[in-house]
Homo-oligomer: A and B are copies of this chain.
């Protein structure tokens, strides 16, 4: 660890974050039968099937935002982390840390929102913990959702093959637009894309060679992760970029790279050229899916601009955008 104190950059996604996580994980070396320890979820072989296990902590500001709230994002985050592994989520553990004096009506809104996603996805809340802290110990509310799922064939980040194509399940960045607009008082009708991606992944999972949801760190972080782990190069084309109009506009206005904008209800995946059309057709029933690039021999993530230039999309370093997920 470099600096004396923990900095925001250590948790912002991107290169500095992944270094920080590596530093943390150095303390936990233990021989284990678990696999995919650096994936969205860890995997334990039960014999006939595999157990998948993940956790996510959420302190979002504001806690209510266009298109969702901290409860919805916590549920979606964990359900989606299981889903991108190809797993069927079977249960959620809900940990709430609430500040003394937090309005009951706000808590009820959040709980109803959690209950709604649970009902829609048929993923039950099966266990939990609730702590109330003295004023000032926490800002309003913190939610940690952990989830378990079952899977036969795991989708791994390391599975992208040369010749594959890269697909996104919908336009990217709306979560960032919705939250940044609230913060910077920018007028927009865009709502967060926060939603479970369980149904579409259940349908197309078997065709995917890798999959990941572009949350913290955005497209730049996850494509670099897939490229690194799969030991391949990913090439994007500028006119195939998946960002919504408002995401592009806000990115330019605030001078924040749109490639680091988080989405909370999308996934990016690779699939063979042969299966690409089938996958896109299925995904288009849910959202406007798109083919955005190809997997080639080499390493790193590159963008071919409309003028013919080649620009590397690096794993972002340090502080990307205000923390919004």
Q: List chain A positions with a Cβ less than 8 A from chain B.
A: 1, 3-12, 17, 20-21, 24-25, 27-30, 32, 34, 37, 41-42, 44, 46-48, 51, 53-59, 61, 90-91, 93-105, 107-108, 111-112, 114-115, 118-119, 122, 124-134, 136-139, 142, 144, 146, 148, 323
> Which of B37, B61, B95, B139 makes the CB contact (< 8 A) with A55?
B95
Distance in angstroms from A112 CB to nearest chain B CB is 6
So how many copies of this chain end up in the complex?
Answer: 2
Q: A28-B125, A132-B10 are in contact. Are A103 and B4 (CB under 8 A)?
A: yes
Q: Which B residues touch A28, using CB under 8 A?
A: 111, 114-115, 118, 124-125
- Docked Cα-Cα span, A57 to B134, in Å, equals 15
Q: A57 touching B102 by the CB < 8 A rule?
A: no
With a CB–CB cut-off of 8 A, which chain B residues contact A133?
11, 59, 139, 323
Partner of A30, one of B46, B95, B124: B124
| Interface residue from B24, B41, B130, B136 paired with A21 (Cβ < 8 Å) | B130
What are the 7 closest A-B residue pairs judged by CB atoms, nearest first?
Answer: A11-B132, A146-B146, A55-B93, A144-B144, A42-B126, A27-B115, A32-B124
Do A98 and B6 have beta carbons less than 8 Å apart?
yes
CA distance A17 to B122 in the complex (A): 27
- Given A30-B118, A42-B91, A148-B53, A134-B323 contact (CB < 8 Å): yes
Do B56 and A111 touch (CB < 8 A)? no
Name the residue among A105, A112, A115 with the largest chain B CB count within 10 angstroms: A115
Tell me, rounded to whole Å, the shortest Cβ–Cβ distance linking A21 to chain B.
6
A28: nearest chain-B partner, CB-CB:
B125
Determine whether the beta carbon of B134 is less than 8 Å from that of A142. Answer: no
- Of B27, B93, B142, which one neighbours A146 at CB under 8 angstroms? B93
